[in-house]
Chain A
Amino acid sequence: MTGITGTILETVLTTAFAVADPAAEAAGHAGAHGGGHGATSGGALMALIPLLPLFGAVLVGVFACFNEKSKLPAYATVGLLAVAFVLTLITYLGWNGHDPIQVRLWDWIGLEWGSGGVGQTLDAGFAFYFDGLSLLWMLFVTGLATLIGLYASEYMEHDAGLGYCRFFGAFNLFVFSMSCLVMGDNLLMLFLGWEGVGLCSYLLIGYYYKKKAAVDAGMKAFVVNRIGDLGLLIGTLLTFTTFGSLEFTELFATIGHGSTASGAPLDATWQVWAIPLLLMMGAFGKSAQLFFYVWLPDAMEGPTPVSALIHAATMVTAGVYLVARMMPLFVADTQLIALSVVTWGGAITAFWAATIAMAQYDIKRIMGYSTISQLGYMFFGLGVLATTGGVFHVFTHAFFKATLFLSCGAVMHGFAGQLDLRKLSGLWKVPGFKIVVIAMLIGCLNLAGFPFTAGYFSKDMILAEAWVTSDSTIWGSSWAGWLMLLTAGLTAYYTFRVFFRVFVGPVEYHPGDDLHDHADDAHGEDHAHDAGQHGDHHADHFHPHAPKWAINLVLVALAGGSVLAAGLYFVGDHHGWAGDMVHASSAHFDPAHIGDHSAAVAGVGDAVAGGESHAGDAHAGDTHAAHGTILGLDPHKYMYYISAIVGFVGIGVAFVLHFAGRTEAATSRADSLARAMEPVHTWAERKWYVDEFYHFIIVTPLKVISHLFHWFDKLVIDGIVELFGGVPKASSESLSPATQTGVLHDYALRMVAGVAVVLVVVAIVLY
C-alpha cells in the first residue's frame, strides 16, 4: 500500500515541478528580451491580462453550475476586466515608448524535423509581444469590454440565470481570445486568438438560440469567416515556408534583410505578393470587407452589447490589426500589389455599404452597414500608406461606434425591441431618454465627421493621404480618394437620417415584438395588436422602459471618451498619440523609401529593433514639397475644409429630407425622392441582392452537389454495405427454419449423417 501511495505522490510532485519549470523559464525569457527596460516586472502583469478573462470564463461557468440567479456573473466579469484594463494601463505607463516587450509564458509548439535547420524547426511559444500597436489595441479592447460588460449587466437582466452565465462566459472568452490575437508574439498565437474570437462571435450572435434568424446569422458569420480564415492559414503556412519562422521579431528581421530564409532575394519570389494577398483575404473575412461583408449585417441579431463590442469596436478591427502588424510584408513588395488591392477593396466596400445603409429602416442594421463602411475607411487608410490615420480611426471609431450601438441598444431595450425608424420618433421628449439622445448625437457627429470631433480628425488623416500618395505608388489612389470623399457625404446623410427621425421631431412610438420579455406581460396581446396602428394613445398602455444607472453611466463614459479622443490628435511627436504608437511598432515604415526596397525594409528593421528617432513617418508630414496635391491644393491643409463641407452637405440634406416639416414617424419628404429613384432605392434597400446572388452561385450548386452525393452514398456505398450485411442475414433466414426443428431424432439423424459425411471425406482424402 505504501508503495502505491509513494508512486502517486511522486507522480503528483513531478507534474507540479513540470508545471513550475516553464514559469521560471518565462521569467528568464522576459529578462532576456526585455533587456533593462523593466520588462521583467511588467511581464508578469502582462501575462495576467489575457489570463484574467480566461479565469472569468471559468468562474462564470462555476456560477452556471450553481445556477446563480443574481447579477454576480456580470459584476465578476466587469471586475476582472477592469483589473485587466488597469494592468494594460500600468504596462503602457511603464513602457519606455519604443522597445517592444516580450514575455514567454511557456513553450507551446516545438517541432523539429529533418536536419532541424532553417525551415525545419517550428518554435511557437505561448508568448506575448507588446509594442505600440498591440498596446493601443489592448487599451481600447479591455477598456471598452469593461464598460460594455457593465452595460450588459443591465441590458441582459431579463435573462438572469443560465442565459446570463452563458452570455458572460462567452463574453470573457472573447476578451481572452482577442487578447491572444492582439498580444501574441507569433502568427500561431494570432491564429489561435483569431479562431477564438470567431467562435465567441458565433456563440454570441446565436445567443437567442430559439430564434431562427439568430441561429442562421451565427452560422453565416462562422461559415463566411472560415473562408477568409483559409486565406490566413495558407498565408501563415507560406510565411513559415518562405521565412522559416512565425515569430514576429525573427520574421521582420528576415524580411528586413530583403531575402527569404534560404537567402534568395525577396523581390524575385512570388511569395512576396502572394502572402500579403492571402493575409488580406483573412483580414477581409474577419473585418467584413468586399465579398465577405454579408455576415456582419446579419450578426446584428446578437444582443446589442455584443454588436457594440465584437461587431463594431474590437473583433472586426482584427483584420486592420493583421494588415498593420504585417505591414513590413506588405511594403516588402516593390510593386505594392497587395496594398493597391487593400486600397480599392476598402474604398469600394466603404461606398457600397454606405449606399445600402442609406436605404435601410432598421437602425441597428444601419449601424452595422456603417461599421462595414468605416472598416473600409481603415483599410483604405492602410492601403494609401496612411497607417497612422487608419490606426487612429480604429481607435476613435471604437469609441463612437460603441456609443452609437449602445444608444440604439438603449432604445431597443426601452421600446421592447423596436428598431424600425418609421415607428419611433422624438425620443428627446420621452422622459428618461435625454442622456441616450445626447450620447447618440455625439456619436452621430463623430461618424458624420463634424468638425473638431475625433472622427473628423481621424478621417481627415486618411483622406488627405489619398492625394499625398501618388497614383503610381498605389494604383489610382486619388480616384479612390474621390470615392471616399463622396462616401463621407453619404455617411453624414444616413447617420443624421437616423438621428433626425428617431431622436428628435414629433413624439410617437410603437413597441416592438419583445413585449413578453418585460414586466407588463399580461397586456402583451393588446400591444401587439395596437402596434399596427398609429397615434399617441400607445402611451396609455405602453410605458417606455427608461435606462437605469448602468446604461446611462456607460453611455456618458463612452460619449465622453469619443469627445476626448479628439484631443489625442494634438499630443505626441508624430502626428498625434496614435502616430507615436504606430511609430514604435512594426506598422511603421519610411514612406520616402517606398518602392526603394532596401531602404524601406531598413526602416522596418529599425522600428522593430526599437530604433532611434526617425525622420519620416507614415503621415509624411516633413516632406510637403514632394507629395501630390488635390486640385492643386495641399491635401494636408485643405482636407480639413473639404471634408467639413462634405459633412455639412450630408447633414443638411438629411435635415431637409427627414426633419423639416415632418409630422409623424412613418413618413418624411424623402419618401417622394425614394419613389422618384424607384429601382435604385429598392435595390439598395434589398442590399443590391448580394445575398440572393451568393445564394444562387454558391449555396445552390453546393446543395445540388450534396444531393447528388447523398444519392450516390445511399445507392452505391450503402448498397455495397447492405450486400455484406444482407447475405448472412438472408442465409440465416433461409436456414433457420430447416435447422431448428427441435425434434430429437432429427438432430440425432443429422449428427450421424454428419459423421458419415466426414468419414467419407477422410476416406477420399486418404486414398
Chain B
Amino acid sequence: MTEKVALVWPEIWLFITTCIVMVVGLSPDERVRKLCSWICGVGLVVAIGTAASGPVLGDPQASGLFPSLTPYAKALIGIVGLMLLPLLAGTVDRDLDAAIRAGKAKFDAIRTNRAEFYAFFLFSLTGLMLCASADDLIWLFLALELTSLPTYIMVTISTRGTRSQEAGVKYFFLGALGAAIFLYGFALLYGASGSTDLVEIAGAFRTQAANGGLNPIAIAGLAVSIIGLCFKIAAVPMHMYAADVYQGAASGVSAMLAFVPKAAGFLAIMMICGTVGWGHGGSDSALPTPIYILLWVVAAATMFTGNVLAIRQTSVKRMLAYSSIAHSGYMLVGIIAGPGTGDGTFWDNGLAAVLFYLLTYGVTNVGTFAVLASIQRVNPDGTTQEADEIDDIRGLHRTRPHLAGAMLLCVLSLLGLPPLLGFFGKVGLFTAAISAGEIPLVIVLGLNSAIAAFYYLRILRAAYLEAPDEDGPETRPAGIQPRVVAALLSAGSVVALLAIAQPLIANSVGAAQYVAPREGVAESASPIPDTVTSVETGLAPVEISRADD
C-alpha cells in the first residue's frame, strides 16, 4: 500500500490544492477569491516537481506494464496544465467582473463560480495523472471518469451563451455512451482473464496465447475497450462530438479538451494494448490480427476524416477540432507500431513517439487556441464574443503582429515543418512505423500531412497575406493579458524546447519501456522480468538497471 502512495504523490498534492482552491473560492472577499488561479499554479508546480522525482524502472515501487511511465507522463501533464492555466484566465465571471468595475453590479458571493471552475480543472488533471499510474482496470476506469466529468461542467459554464450549454449536454451524453462502451469492454477483459490487475491480465493472456490462442472473449473485450476509448481521443467512429463541442466551449476549454481527455485516452489504450502485447501476428511483433486491423482502419479513417473535414470549415475552432481528430489518427500509428523489436531507440519505438507527440501537440495546441482567445469580435449589436471565424484573424499580422507570429509558429509546428518542435514529434511516428514495416500506413500518414497543409496554411494566409476585412465585424483585443502570455509562451516553447529536445526524447524513450510479463504470472509476484536490462535511446544512452527482488 505504501508503495502505491509513493506513486501517487503528485495526485495527492493536486487533490490538496483542489481542496484549498474550493475553500478559498468560497471567501466572501473578492480579492481572496482571485487568488484561486495563483494557488492552482503553485499546486501544479509542486506536482510537477514531485512527479519528476518519481520512481523509474528499477525502483522497488516501479511496477506494471510500463514501470517508468509515470514521471514523464505526469510531468508532461503538469507542464501542459501550467500552460493552460493562463489561457483559462477570465473564462468565467468575466462579465460580472466587468460590471463590478463599471459600478453596475456589486460583488455577489453566490453568482461567481471561479472556484468551481479552477477546482474542476485541477480535478481533471488529477484524474489524468491517475490514469498514468493506473495498474488496475477499475482504477483506470475511475481515473478516466475523474478526468472527464469535470470537463462536462467546464464546457457548460465556460461561456454565458446557450451554445456552450448545448455543447455541454452533447458532450455529457455522448461521453456517457462512450464510457458505457469501454466499461463493457473492461468487463469482458475481466471475464476473459479472471483478474482486474493489468499485469495479471497480461500474464493470463500470455498463457492463453501459448496454449492454443487467445480466448475470443479477450479479443472482443480488447476491441470494445479500444473502440470505447476512441471517444476520449476523438477517433473515428466516436469523433462526431468534437467539432460541435470545441466550437461551443470557450477557447481555453477547447484547448483543454484537445489535450486532457486525449492524453487520458492514449495512456489507457497503451495499457489495454499492453495487456495483450505486441508479440503476435505473422512477424511476432504486432498486436493480435483483429486488434491490429481494427486500429489500422481506425487510424487511417481518423486521419482522413479529420483532415478532409477540416478543409471546408470557416470556423477556426472547428478547423482545429478536426485537426485534433487527425492528430489522434497520427498517434494511433505509433500505437500500431508498438515498442519495436530493435534496441529500443526513439526511431523504432512507436510508444515513445506517441508520448513525445503528446508533449509537442499539447504545448503547440495551447498557442493556437490562445491566439483566438486573445481576440474578440464585436457583434453589430455591441456584444462581444471570442474570435472564431477565419475572417476574424484576417490581417492579424498588421493589427496584432505578436499574436500573428505566435499563430505562425504554432501552426507550422502542428503542420510538422522542420525545424520546429512538431517536426520531431512527427518524425518519430514516421520512423517507428517504417521500422515496424507499416509502409502503407506511412504513406497514408504522409498524404494526410500534405492535406493538413491545405487548411493550416489557410489560417496563415488569412493572418499574413490578406488585408483586414473593412466591412466585416470589427475585432479588438480581448484585454486579458494572461491569454496573450499563454500564446507567446506556447509559441516560444515550440522553438525553445528544441534546445532540450534531446533529453526530452530520451525521457520519452525511457517512459515508453514496455515490460512484457512472463507467462502465467501467479499471485502478485514481482512482474519485472529478466528480459529488459539496458536500453539504448539512440540519442543519449539511458542506463536502466534492474532492481534486485
Check if A754 sits within 8 Å of B238, measured CB to CB.
Answer: yes
A731 CA to B448 CA, complexed, in Å: 14
Check if B223 sits within 8 Å of A762, measured CB to CB.
Answer: yes
Residues of A within 8 A of B173 (CB): 744, 748
What does the 1/0 interface line of A624-652 toward B look like (CB < 8 Å)? 00000000000000000000000000000
Check if A765 sits within 8 Å of B290, measured CB to CB.
Answer: yes
Residues of B within 8 A of A747 (CB): 170, 174, 240-241
A666 CA to B477 CA, complexed, in Å: 71
Check if B219 sits within 8 Å of A761, measured CB to CB.
Answer: no
Interface of A is mostly: helix
Q: Is B487 part of the binding interface, using a Cβ–Cβ cutoff of 8 Å?
A: no
Name the one of A732, A755, A759 contacting B308, with C-beta atoms under 8 angstroms: A732
Nearest-CB residue, chain A, relative to B312: A732
Q: Given A729-B454, A748-B177, A761-B294, decide whether A755 and B311 contact each other with a Cβ distance below 8 A.
A: no
B450 to chain A, nearest CB (A): 8
Residues of B within 8 A of A733 (CB): 312
Q: Is B181 part of the binding interface, using a Cβ–Cβ cutoff of 8 Å?
A: yes
Check if B220 sits within 8 Å of A761, measured CB to CB.
Answer: no
Q: In chain B, residues 262-277, which have Cβ atoms closer than 8 Å to a Cβ of chain A? A: none
Check if A735 sits within 8 Å of B308, measured CB to CB.
Answer: yes
Interface of B is mostly: helix
Residues of B within 8 A of A736 (CB): 309, 312-313
Name the one of B174, B178, B231, B309 contacting A744, with C-beta atoms under 8 angstroms: B174
Q: Is B289 part of the binding interface, using a Cβ–Cβ cutoff of 8 Å?
A: yes
Check if B237 sits within 8 Å of A754, measured CB to CB.
Answer: yes
A104 CA to B434 CA, complexed, in Å: 53
Residues of A within 8 A of B238 (CB): 751, 754
* Residue in A724, A729, A731, A758 whose Cβ sees the most chain B Cβ within 10 Å: A758
Check if B174 sits within 8 Å of A735, measured CB to CB.
Answer: no
Q: Is A739 part of the binding interface, using a Cβ–Cβ cutoff of 8 Å?
A: yes
Residues of A within 8 A of B309 (CB): 732, 735-736, 739-740
Q: Is A742 part of the binding interface, using a Cβ–Cβ cutoff of 8 Å?
A: yes
Q: Is B508 part of the binding interface, using a Cβ–Cβ cutoff of 8 Å?
A: no
B407 to chain A, nearest CB (A): 22
B165 to chain A, nearest CB (A): 13
Number of interface residues of A (CB under 8 A): 29
Residues of A within 8 A of B293 (CB): 761-762, 765
Q: Is B189 part of the binding interface, using a Cβ–Cβ cutoff of 8 Å?
A: no
Residues of B within 8 A of A725 (CB): 454
A725 CA to B455 CA, complexed, in Å: 11
A724 CA to B169 CA, complexed, in Å: 39
Q: Is B451 part of the binding interface, using a Cβ–Cβ cutoff of 8 Å?
A: yes
B316 to chain A, nearest CB (A): 16
Nearest-CB residue, chain A, relative to B307: A728
* Residue in A728, A740, A742, A748 whose Cβ sees the most chain B Cβ within 10 Å: A728
Q: Is B466 part of the binding interface, using a Cβ–Cβ cutoff of 8 Å?
A: no
B237 to chain A, nearest CB (A): 2
Name the one of B169, B174, B219 contacting A751, with C-beta atoms under 8 angstroms: B174
A754 CA to B309 CA, complexed, in Å: 18
What does the 1/0 interface line of B294-315 toward A look like (CB < 8 Å)? 1001100000000111111100
B81 to chain A, nearest CB (A): 29
A700 CA to B214 CA, complexed, in Å: 77
Q: Given A733-B312, A739-B309, decide whether A755 and B454 contact each other with a Cβ distance below 8 A.
A: no
Check if A751 sits within 8 Å of B312, measured CB to CB.
Answer: no
Q: Is A715 part of the binding interface, using a Cβ–Cβ cutoff of 8 Å?
A: no
Check if A751 sits within 8 Å of B454, measured CB to CB.
Answer: no
Q: Is A750 part of the binding interface, using a Cβ–Cβ cutoff of 8 Å?
A: yes
A746 CA to B244 CA, complexed, in Å: 13
A457 to chain B, nearest CB (A): 66
A348 to chain B, nearest CB (A): 54
Q: Is B153 part of the binding interface, using a Cβ–Cβ cutoff of 8 Å?
A: no
Residues of B within 8 A of A751 (CB): 174, 177-178, 231, 237-238, 240
Q: Is B243 part of the binding interface, using a Cβ–Cβ cutoff of 8 Å?
A: yes
Residues of A within 8 A of B219 (CB): 762, 766
Q: Is A680 part of the binding interface, using a Cβ–Cβ cutoff of 8 Å?
A: no
Q: Is B227 part of the binding interface, using a Cβ–Cβ cutoff of 8 Å?
A: yes
Residues of B within 8 A of A759 (CB): 220, 223-224, 227
Q: Is A753 part of the binding interface, using a Cβ–Cβ cutoff of 8 Å?
A: yes
Q: Is A90 part of the binding interface, using a Cβ–Cβ cutoff of 8 Å?
A: no
Q: Is B236 part of the binding interface, using a Cβ–Cβ cutoff of 8 Å?
A: yes
Nearest-CB residue, chain A, relative to B311: A732
A748 to chain B, nearest CB (A): 6
A311 to chain B, nearest CB (A): 42
Q: Is A757 part of the binding interface, using a Cβ–Cβ cutoff of 8 Å?
A: yes
Q: Given A739-B240, A747-B240, decide whether A754 and B227 contact each other with a Cβ distance below 8 A.
A: yes
Check if B311 sits within 8 Å of A728, measured CB to CB.
Answer: yes
B480 to chain A, nearest CB (A): 29
Check if B240 sits within 8 Å of A731, measured CB to CB.
Answer: no
Residues of A within 8 A of B454 (CB): 725, 728-729
Nearest-CB residue, chain A, relative to B236: A754
Check if B170 sits within 8 Å of A728, measured CB to CB.
Answer: no
Q: Is B103 part of the binding interface, using a Cβ–Cβ cutoff of 8 Å?
A: no
Interface pairs (15), CB distance under 8 Å: A724-B450, A732-B308, A736-B313, A739-B309, A744-B173, A744-B174, A747-B241, A751-B240, A753-B237, A755-B224, A758-B237, A758-B294, A759-B223, A762-B291, A766-B216
- Top 9 nearest A-B pairs (CB, nearest first) are A754-B237, A747-B240, A732-B311, A732-B312, A765-B290, A762-B290, A732-B308, A762-B223, A728-B451
Q: Report which B residues bind A (CB closer than 8 A).
A: 169-170, 173-174, 177-178, 181, 216, 219-220, 223-224, 227-228, 231, 236-238, 240-241, 243-244, 289-291, 293-294, 297-298, 307-313, 450-451, 454
Q: A736-B309, A740-B244, A748-B177 are in contact. List 7 more A-B contacts (CB 8 A).
A: A740-B243, A742-B244, A751-B177, A755-B181, A755-B224, A759-B224, A759-B227
